[in-house]
């Protein structure tokens, strides 16, 4: 039989050494890449948080996503800043022509912002609604347009402390307007996304590593083609696909498990507990019913009897007749181990048989009636039974150990097999046995397969898991 040798099969633990450190390094690189993918995927939804809490991140990463300040909202905020600077100048008031022009411009731009909704392109409907709600609540008006038109008037600012009102706008409204942006599109009409410029290094790295890993796997495992090695590591392809980047969590999890940096066994067991129990229950019943049905078909068609009566040549892996070896071993155990242990029981059976035979004869009754000879029949039968048992065991041991005796045993076994096969070849006997075996298998299917549906597969699976826990040595801590 051909033996497949591997230097270090995939997934097998390697305590220390360069291979283990290499696996850990590759797992860490894969985790870093996955974190970058996760950050890129979540950047747009979480941009407002980065904008207010970590502005340098927005300044840097907006370029990757093709994000620029929206011109309309930027112009609006610039007008607000001009008004603030104008009011901070010495001898300036809300009634000067310059301030009135700025207030009029702000009313006009506010109306345009509310009508055109520059927040729509960025999908910031919530931000736009929050601006309107805060202005309505602050001014106590029903409509946001009325609130803006009232707020940007000199009369309102004079009567309501202009500094406090402008501080309110700068703290509550300006950050919301400033978070708006516009995003450029590429030649095919998609939003600009240059994350590939970062990801391309990881894609090339993992692509090259995939080719080298599968090539050495193909060289290390006898009979494994390179394409088969690639199919075994199919999940690593997800690491260098330019799309469906979220699926990279699969190879990352596999690499973390193989490198023993994280143990996902407990998580996987709990996540797949109920589905695995149901699937295992259905699969076991399917296999049992399929096996019984195939056995019934083989019995009905007569192929089972033909295989027994006329065995065909089969594939031999080691030039050894396993059936003969097993039979010889069982016969050896029977002669040298079993018979000596059951010698008292064998004597009892022979004693009973001899005594029963003597009781049926008139000689036994005559001897029993003679004075002084009443116990002679019993002593005689006991002695004969003991001698016969001892002789039987001795003869079998001597004959089996002797070369000529072994030949006689083999001849007896051969003649017995031929006689047994000839007896089974009788058509009526075959039909009777086929009917009995078919009925027996049908009863087995009805009694055990159907009854198994009443058992709880989850309880069985829990019992198996308990057995595994008793067998497995302590391992790395599981991630909870």
Is residue 134 in a domain?
A: yes
Mean pLDDT of the region 57-67: 92
Q: Is the pLDDT of residue 11 over 90?
A: no
Q: Domain count of the chain?
A: 2
Chain centroid to Cα 378, Å, comes to: 73
Which helix H or strand E contains 465, and what residues bound it?
helix 457-471
Annotate 330-381 with DSSP letters as a single string: HHHHIIIIIHHHTHHHHHHHHHHHHHHHHHTSHHHHHHHHSTT-TTHHHHHH
Extended strands (E) in 10-103 = 67-69
Is residue 382 in a domain?
A: yes
pLDDT at 144: 92
% the chain with pLDDT above 70: 62
Mean pLDDT of the region 91-98: 79
Distance of alpha carbon 136 from alpha carbon 128, whole angstroms: 13
Q: Is the pLDDT of residue 435 over 90?
A: no
Token pair 């993992």 is at which residue? 206
Of 124, 156, 183, the position where a domain reaches its end is: 183
327 — pLDDT class (breaks 50, 70, 90)? low
For the purposes of burial, counting CB atoms within 10 Å of the CB of 360, is it exposed (0-12), middle (13-18) or buried (19 or more)? Answer: exposed
For the purposes of burial, counting CB atoms within 10 Å of the CB of 214, is it exposed (0-12), middle (13-18) or buried (19 or more)? Answer: buried
Is residue 469 in a domain?
A: no
Is residue 228 in a domain?
A: no
Q: What domain range is 417 assigned to?
A: 321-457
pLDDT tens-digit map of 129-183: 999 999 999 999 999 999 999 999 988 988 888 889 999 999 999 999 999 999 8
For the purposes of burial, counting CB atoms within 10 Å of the CB of 206, is it exposed (0-12), middle (13-18) or buried (19 or more)? Answer: buried
More confident residue, 209 or 330: 209
- Mean of pLDDT over the chain: 77
* Whole-Å CA distances, 158 to 154, 164, 458: 6, 11, 76
Among 156, 123, 106, residue whose Cα is nearest residue 47: 123
Is residue 474 in a domain?
A: no
The pTM of the full predicted model, rounded to 2 decimals, is: 0.60
Of 155, 183, 211, the position where a domain reaches its end is: 183
Is residue 235 in a domain?
A: no
Q: Is the pLDDT of residue 309 over 60?
A: no
Q: Is the pLDDT of residue 9 over 50?
A: no
Is residue 296 in a domain?
A: no
Distance of alpha carbon 234 from alpha carbon 238, whole angstroms: 8
Q: Is the pLDDT of residue 302 over 80?
A: no
Q: Is the pLDDT of residue 384 over 80?
A: no
pLDDT at 336: 72
Is residue 346 in a domain?
A: yes
Token pair 């007749």 is at which residue? 321
More confident residue, 18 or 449: 18
């Amino acid at each position: 039989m051909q033996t497949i040798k591997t230097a270090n099969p995939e997934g097998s633990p390697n305590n220390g050494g360069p291979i283990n450190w290499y696996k850990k390094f590759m797992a860490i690189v894969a985790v870093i890449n996955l974190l970058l993918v996760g950050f890129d995927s979540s950047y747009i939804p979480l941009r407002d948080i980065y904008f207010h809490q970590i502005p340098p991140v927005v300044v840097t990463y907006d370029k990757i996503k093709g994000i620029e300040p929206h011109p309309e909202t930027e112009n609006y905020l610039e007008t607000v800043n001009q008004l603030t600077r104008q009011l901070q100048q010495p001898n300036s008031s809300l009634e000067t022509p310059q301030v009135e022009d700025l207030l009029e411009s702000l009313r006009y731009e506010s109306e345009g912002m509310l009508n055109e909704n520059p927040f729509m392109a960025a999908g910031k409907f919530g931000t736009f609604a929050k601006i309107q709600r805060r202005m309505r609540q602050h001014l106590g008006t029903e409509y946001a347009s009325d609130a803006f038109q009232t707020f940007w008037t000199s009369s309102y600012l004079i009567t309501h402390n202009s500094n406090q009102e402008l501080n309110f706008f700068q703290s509550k409204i300006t950050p919301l307007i400033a978070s708006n942006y516009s995003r450029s599109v590429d030649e095919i009409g998609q939003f600009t996304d240059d994350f590939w410029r970062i990801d391309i290094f990881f894609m090339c790295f993992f692509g090259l590593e995939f080719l080298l890993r599968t090539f050495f796997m193909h060289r290390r495992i006898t009979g494994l083609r390179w394409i088969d090695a690639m199919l075994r590591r199919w999940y690593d392809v997800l690491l260098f696909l330019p799309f469906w980047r979220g699926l990279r969590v699969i190879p990352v999890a596999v690499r973390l498990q193989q490198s023993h940096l994280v143990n996902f066994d407990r998580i996987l067991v709990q996540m797949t507990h109920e589905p695995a129990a149901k699937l295992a229950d259905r699969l076991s019943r399917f296999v049992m019913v399929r096996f019984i049905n195939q056995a019934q078909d083989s019995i009905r068609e007569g192929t089972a009897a033909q295989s027994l009566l006329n065995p065909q040549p089969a594939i031999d892996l080691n030039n050894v007749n396993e059936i003969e070896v097993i039979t010889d071993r069982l016969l050896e155990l029977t002669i040298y181990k079993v018979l000596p242990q059951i010698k008292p029981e064998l004597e009892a059976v022979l004693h009973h048989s001899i005594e029963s035979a003597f009781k049926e004869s008139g000689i036994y009754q005559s001897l029993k009636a003679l004075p002084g000879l009443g116990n002679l029949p019993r002593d005689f039968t006991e002695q004969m039974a003991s001698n016969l048992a001892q002789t039987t065991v001795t003869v079998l041991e001597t004959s089996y150990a002797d070369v000529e005796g072994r030949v006689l045993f083999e001849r007896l076994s051969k003649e017995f097999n031929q006689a047994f096969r000839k007896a089974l070849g009788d058509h009526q006997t075959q039909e009777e046995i086929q009917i009995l075996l078919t009925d027996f298998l049908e009863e087995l299917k009805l009694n055990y397969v159907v009854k198994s549906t009443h058992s709880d597969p989850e309880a069985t699976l829990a019992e198996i898991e308990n057995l595994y826990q008793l067998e497995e040595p302590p391992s790395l801590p599981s991630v909870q």
